[in-house]
């Protein structure tokens, strides 16, 4: 009742396609850096940009 169990925080990377604005959220990988080029957008076939890196608690 008085003890709060700490929830694990998982780091995520959000890549955005500059053309279709589609956002892809995936788990953070070592070497990920903000504004760097990410994976290729499936629809536009151009590299996405890393827009955000953040942590989210897992319930």
Binding-site ranges for another protein (CB under 8 A): 9, 11-12, 14, 28, 30, 33-36, 52-56
Query: Minimum distance between the CB of residue 20 and another protein, rounded to whole angstroms?
Result: 17
Residue closest to 25 by CA, chosen among 58, 57, 54, 59: 54
Residue closest to 53 by CA, chosen among 17, 42, 31: 31
Query: Minimum distance between the CB of residue 29 and another protein, rounded to whole angstroms?
Result: 10
Closer by beta carbon to another protein, 1 or else 57:
57
Give the β-pairing of 37-40 and 23-27: unpaired
Closer by beta carbon to another protein, 42 or else 55:
55
């Amino acid at each position: 009742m008085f003890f709060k169990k700490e929830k694990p925080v998982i780091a995520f990377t959000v890549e955005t396609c500059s053309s279709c604005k589609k956002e892809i959220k995936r788990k953070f990988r070592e070497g990920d850096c903000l504004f760097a080029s990410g994976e290729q957008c499936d629809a536009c076939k151009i590299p996405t940009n890393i827009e955000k890196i953040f942590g989210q608690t897992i319930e």
